[in-house]
Structure 1
Amino acid sequence: MTALRLGPLLRYVDEDTATVWVETDGPCEAEVRCDGSAAGGTAATWQVAGHHYALVTVVGLEPGTTTPYRVLLDGDQVWPLPDPGAGVRRLPPSTIRTPAPDGAGALRLAFGSCRWAARPSGSFHDPVGPDALAALAEQAAGGGDVPDVLLLLGDQVYADETSEAMRAQLAARRDIEEPPWGQVADYEEYTALYYESWLAPDVRWLLSTVPSCMIFDDHDVIDDWNTSEAWQRDIRATSWWRERLLGGLTSYWVYQHLGNLSPGELAEDPVFTAVREAGDGTELLREFAARADADPEVTRWSYRRDFGRVRLLMADTRAARVLAEQDRAMLDADEMKWLREQALTDRAAYDHLLIGSSLPWLLPPAIHGVESWNAALCAGSRGPRWARFGERLRRASDLEHWAAFPRSFEELAALIAEVSLGDDAPATVCVLSGDVHHAYVAEPRADAGTGSGTGTGSGTGTRVVQLTCSPMHNSIPGFMRAGFRFGWSGAGRLLGRMLARHGRAERPSLRWDRTGGPWFGNQLMTLTLRGRSALLGMDRARTAEAGVRLTPVLERTLSSASETSHTGG
């Protein structure tokens, strides 16, 4: 009998269709069967590096319904698990909840980033605390609020920070005293990372019943992935990097990227078609990954999802970069053109625009100043000696957010300003991000302008906010907490301006303020969007007698100044 190795993961859902991803231990036909309904679907598995997968399209669902489902492999039921095991509680049935027709009703969208499945070996960080994703699973399984969709904004796995258990698995395959040491080396080791991250019973159930959208960040491959042209040149010269990169991109394509796409997009995807038709898609995917790394225009990892009258644009801020020092860009020209087209096309069709970026757009002003100063130094504004110093500092201090790509920062500001003007402007534009291991809300000032003289503040009628939520399960040293707080202070702003002036960097064309936070701990943000209203909530994971739970930290109506703070930061 074929067994289920990982999943099911409920990924794409619309009014009458869904996709369900599974990994099995052998070739078979996977089936999703919906109880009390004619809806369902089947798909044959396909193979990559000795692993077998299926992405089942479920059709015939009714709008606005909640439908329990089961997974069968070659006719034998494998999910729900027939026996969860000793000491493991039985969880509710996995369900597919379809949205109401025509975008009626509210959309509840939870998001966050940066999740260790287990504390890395030798970590010097503060105590990690409870997992916010596990706490959300506890809440949902116990009958509490369940989001309609979950956005995972990067660092779903940590290829470069592995746990003691993972290191033991790696040591059983190879000598971890040799490069890449206790980090993952190839596709097979990436599969073990995904098992560690997604096999915990509560989290596994949550991902089977809440649709998810995902995008990578650096740790999905390696810390500071694609920081600079010099960084890329140096790492490509190592003996181990090529296999790591190919394993990272191919596993991301299999475990995360495919589920972001609609059934229609999957049907038109030539790589997906070729892999399914091949007896073994390993070499096809490796060649595809190598080409994608060499030329970002080979593929588009960014994607668009529409949830009724809410439009999500998930931007690839890692693999689509231009790294040539005199032409640096967070998004290459083709990717920025795509982002503009998706944001500006048929604005009347959406009330809220969400731009998913693994990296924050609006940073604490001191940090923004440091990054723009550093970018100018690396570009040679103060000569070769300062440029060499700037490159060392950039790598040591992770100076590679939007502020480190000034042209792209301004292009995004101008796009948001353009979206926010006119009678068909949305009620809100929210830039959703993580990465920085704390949470905050930042907003352009009402009088802030872009280089074209247009505004991104409340004067346009559109509320523009940067919502940063990180981590779900990670930690941050105490000195960095102090640094992030200082970054918003008057002294921090002054320091940022002084450094930018020293580097001869141009001042940003808009100004912004922190309007919430900073908050530290393991946490998730939630947006509840109904019509043109938007409610922001944030919850922190805490240990409780019965396990872990989410406790409210913030509730704020984005269409007004009203706010309820439940706990301190």
Structure 2
Amino acid sequence: MAGLLLGPLLRYVDEISATVWVETDRPCEVHVRCENGAGGAERTWQVAGHHYALVPVAGLTPAGETPYRVLLDGEQVWPQPGSRFPESTIHTPAAPGGDPGDQHLRVAFGSCRWAAPPADAHDPVGPDALDTLAAALAADPARPRPDVLLLLGDQVYADQTSDATTRLLATRRDTSEPPWRQVADYEEYTHLYAESWLDPEVRWLLSTVPSCMIFDDHDVIDDWNTSAAWQTRMRATSWWRERVLGGLMSYWVYQHLGNLSPAELEKDELYARVRALPDGTDLVREFVSAADADPGCARWSYRRDFGRVRLVMVDTRATRVLDEGRRAMLDPAEAEWLREQVLAEHGTYDHLLIGSSLPWLLPNLIHDAEGWNAALCAGARGARWARRSESLRQRADLEHWAAFPESFAALTDLLAEAGSGEAAPATVCVLSGDVHHAYVAEPHWRDRSAPDARVLQLTCSPVHNSIPATIRAGFRFGWSRLGRRLGHALARHARLERPSINWRRTGGPWFGNQLMTLALNGRTARLRLDQARCERGGGARLVCAWDEQVAGRREQETAKGQEAGKEQEEGKGQEEGKERGEGKG
């Protein structure tokens, strides 16, 4: 009898269809069956001796919540017997064009998650925010549930493995030799995903809340693709090639395919060829090898439209241009793709979400330090400064959007263009993680009128990780006035051009294991930050650290106008009442 090793993960969901991902212990037929007769079936396919299926589910109804079961060769494996969790369901959105009051979306997001230890073990970094969210939802079915979960990078840590994983690696090879306690190949990556996604609470959560994912550096290695010098050094090692190919292969299998719609899967030639073969390992390996050598060979970015909310998830790691004379966060083809997706059918969406694992707007000092470093690495102050600056860039992780000044400026201009005009959305939000604290930042344009949309940087990290006290202090200082002035001095030293915007932090910084939730309803939005806190006597709960209405610029002006009109009418009424009272006297 076939067994379920991992999953089910509910991935893509629209008004009438969905996809469900599983890993099994042998070849089999995977069925997903729903109570209303909807469902689907798929034969497993194989990569490196592991068996997977991504089952398209058809026949769903809009605005419905449908329980489902998973069967392998006709035998039910999910829900598991005696499960303490509610049944897994597929919640479909309302059909577009209906009642605007039904067009709502709850987007929960965060990044950077170490796998949580077993429930009876001590957790040195505190409670896992995903674990805690799952427990809260399971205990209270009436609690509002996210419509989609955006995991913005570092879903697994290939370079910082747990003690349990280290013991497993030691049974396969000598961990005193490179790559030491880090994972080495595809097989070891499969263990990372199992360790992370078999956590009971997280497993149930991912089975019932759709998820969209994108990688960041730790999914492969810290500082992945920081610079050409970094890449040259890594490619000279004996172990890097297997590591990066294993990372990209496992990302394609465990994360990327589930980001695609059933229609996109049908058009994916590699996916079709892998499913048609007894073992697709060589095909997938060939594909990711080409992608690593030439970023233009693969596209990991993708777009999802949720009614009148558009999400564009951007790969900020694998498509970089690293040559010092033309460094860019995105290669030209990827940058043009991003522009097309953002501006396509402009005016048909009320909110634009850009998913970028790396923040666009950083603490002011860090932004200027990264621009300063990039200029010095490019030779702005001579070869000696360039050598020292390259060493600093790699040691201090100076490789966000700010470290690619032309890419930063291009993204800034694109966001302004998307947020401007009569057809502008209410909000344009960049959703990010990576930096192990959470904050809200808002830009202000210097040399042009502000966009009609409200533009925000929303950063939430980590979901489950740690940050030393010294780094916390550094981030706080980076946001301070003194830090801003120091950043300006660095910019002058590197002869940097002043950016077209300045920005200020309007929320945070918050430190801890946390998730943000953006609740979108029509052209209004509300942002909430929840932190996982330990409770006395054991257990954990989510504590709201911030909850604020986020409105578009036009909506703000309308609200202000309505409030002013209301106050004027109230004042007029009071004056008339006073006059009537004086007349009676």
Q: TM-score, normalised by structure 1?
A: 0.94
Q: Per the alignment, in what secondary structure is the counterpart of residue 192 of structure 1?
A: helix
Matched, 1:485 2:484: no
**What does 1:143-158 align with in structure 2 at a 5 Å threshold?**
143=140, 144-158=143-157
Matched, 1:107 2:105: yes
**What does 1:309-328 align with in structure 2 at a 5 Å threshold?**
309-328=308-327
Q: Distance in 2 between matches of 1:146 and 1:546?
A: 24
Equivalent position to 2:127, from 107, 127, 130: 130
Q: Which amino acid aligns with 2:249?
A: T
Identity of aligned residues (%): 68
Q: Distance in 2 between matches of 1:540 and 1:182?
A: 31
Shift of 1:548: 1.8
Equivalent position of 1:469 in the other structure: 460
Equivalent position to 1:511, from 494, 502, 526: 502
Q: Which amino acid aligns with 1:74?
A: D
Q: Per the alignment, in what secondary structure is the counterpart of residue 8 of structure 1?
A: strand
Q: Which amino acid aligns with 2:3?
A: A
More divergent stretch after superposition (480-489 vs 397-406): 480-489
Q: Per the alignment, in what secondary structure is the counterpart of residue 495 of structure 1?
A: helix
Q: Which amino acid aligns with 2:470?
A: F
Work out whether residues 421 and 452 of structure 2, in 8 Å CA contact, stay in contact via their aligned partners in 1. no
Work out whether residues 22 and 55 of structure 1, in 8 Å CA contact, stay in contact via their aligned partners in 2. yes
Work out whether residues 417 and 451 of structure 2, in 8 Å CA contact, stay in contact via their aligned partners in 1. no
Q: Per the alignment, in what secondary structure is the counterpart of residue 102 of structure 1?
A: coil
Q: Distance in 2 between matches of 1:327 and 1:376?
A: 12
Work out whether residues 118 and 163 of structure 1, in 8 Å CA contact, stay in contact via their aligned partners in 2. no
Work out whether residues 342 and 418 of structure 2, in 8 Å CA contact, stay in contact via their aligned partners in 1. yes
Q: Which amino acid aligns with 1:131?
A: D
Matched, 1:22 2:22: yes
Shift of 1:38: 1.3
Q: Distance in 2 between matches of 1:145 and 1:171?
A: 44
Work out whether residues 418 and 454 of structure 1, in 8 Å CA contact, stay in contact via their aligned partners in 2. no
Work out whether residues 134 and 548 of structure 1, in 8 Å CA contact, stay in contact via their aligned partners in 2. no
Q: Distance in 2 between matches of 1:173 and 1:281?
A: 23
Q: Per the alignment, in what secondary structure is the counterpart of residue 135 of structure 2?
A: helix
Q: Distance in 1 between matches of 2:433 and 2:192?
A: 21
Q: Distance in 2 between matches of 1:170 and 1:83?
A: 33
Shift of 1:342: 0.7
Shift of 1:543: 1.6
Aligned residue pairs, count? 543
Q: Distance in 2 between matches of 1:205 and 1:95?
A: 10
Q: Which amino acid aligns with 2:86?
A: P
Q: Distance in 1 between matches of 2:158 and 2:205?
A: 23
Q: Distance in 2 between matches of 1:548 and 1:68?
A: 28
Q: Distance in 2 between matches of 1:540 and 1:422?
A: 37
Equivalent position of 1:439 in the other structure: 438
Q: Distance in 1 between matches of 2:478 and 2:330?
A: 26
Provide Cα deviations, 1:107-149, integer angstroms capped at 9, x if missing partner: 0010000000047xxxxxx941100000110111112221000
Equivalent position of 1:34 in the other structure: 34
Q: Distance in 2 between matches of 1:552 and 1:515?
A: 17
Equivalent position of 1:384 in the other structure: 383
Shift of 1:546: 6.1
Equivalent position of 1:418 in the other structure: 417
Equivalent position of 2:565 in the other structure: none
Q: Distance in 2 between matches of 1:352 and 1:127?
A: 38
Equivalent position to 2:547, from 540, 555, 558: 555
Equivalent position of 2:48 in the other structure: 49
Q: Distance in 2 between matches of 1:508 and 1:236?
A: 35
Matched, 1:193 2:176: no
Equivalent position of 1:161 in the other structure: 160
Q: Which amino acid aligns with 1:101?
A: A
Unpaired runs of 5+ residues, structure 1, are 85-89, 120-125, 563-569
Work out whether residues 440 and 467 of structure 1, in 8 Å CA contact, stay in contact via their aligned partners in 2. yes
Work out whether residues 132 and 473 of structure 1, in 8 Å CA contact, stay in contact via their aligned partners in 2. yes
Equivalent position to 2:137, from 130, 136, 140: 140
Equivalent position to 2:88, from 76, 91, 94: 94
Q: Distance in 2 between matches of 1:402 and 1:491?
A: 22
Provide Cα deviations, 1:237-279, integer angstroms capped at 9, x if missing partner: 0000000011000000000000000001011011111111111
Q: Distance in 1 between matches of 2:251 and 2:22?
A: 14
Equivalent position of 1:211 in the other structure: 210
Shift of 1:82: 1.7
Matched, 1:529 2:523: no
Q: Distance in 2 between matches of 1:69 and 1:548?
A: 29
Higher CA-based Rg: 2
Q: Which amino acid aligns with 1:554?
A: W
Q: Distance in 2 between matches of 1:83 and 1:95?
A: 17
Equivalent position of 1:122 in the other structure: none
Q: Distance in 1 between matches of 2:52 and 2:161?
A: 25
Q: Distance in 2 between matches of 1:283 and 1:507?
A: 49
Equivalent position of 1:244 in the other structure: 243
Q: Distance in 1 between matches of 2:516 and 2:171?
A: 39
Shift of 1:505: 2.1
Q: Per the alignment, in what secondary structure is the counterpart of residue 501 of structure 2?
A: coil
**What does 1:346-385 align with in structure 2 at a 5 Å threshold?**
346-385=345-384
Alignment RMSD:
1.4
Provide Cα deviations, 1:33-69, integer angstroms capped at 9, x if missing partner: 002x110000000000000000000000000000000
Q: Per the alignment, in what secondary structure is the counterpart of residue 517 of structure 2?
A: strand
Q: Which amino acid aligns with 1:183?
A: Q
Equivalent position of 1:77 in the other structure: 76
Q: Distance in 2 between matches of 1:118 and 1:231?
A: 31
Q: Distance in 1 between matches of 2:66 and 2:28?
A: 25
Work out whether residues 160 and 184 of structure 1, in 8 Å CA contact, stay in contact via their aligned partners in 2. yes
* Greater than 3 Å deviation, 4+ residue runs: none
Equivalent position of 1:567 in the other structure: none
Equivalent position of 1:302 in the other structure: 301
Equivalent position of 1:566 in the other structure: none
Work out whether residues 417 and 454 of structure 1, in 8 Å CA contact, stay in contact via their aligned partners in 2. no
Q: Per the alignment, in what secondary structure is the counterpart of residue 487 of structure 2?
A: helix
Q: Per the alignment, in what secondary structure is the counterpart of residue 381 of structure 2?
A: coil
Q: Distance in 1 between matches of 2:549 and 2:16?
A: 31
Q: Which amino acid aligns with 1:353?
A: L
Q: Distance in 2 between matches of 1:266 and 1:201?
A: 29
Provide Cα deviations, 1:213-254, integer angstroms capped at 9, x if missing partner: 000000000000000000000000000000001100000000
Work out whether residues 113 and 152 of structure 1, in 8 Å CA contact, stay in contact via their aligned partners in 2. yes
Q: Distance in 2 between matches of 1:72 and 1:377?
A: 59
Shift of 1:501: 1.2
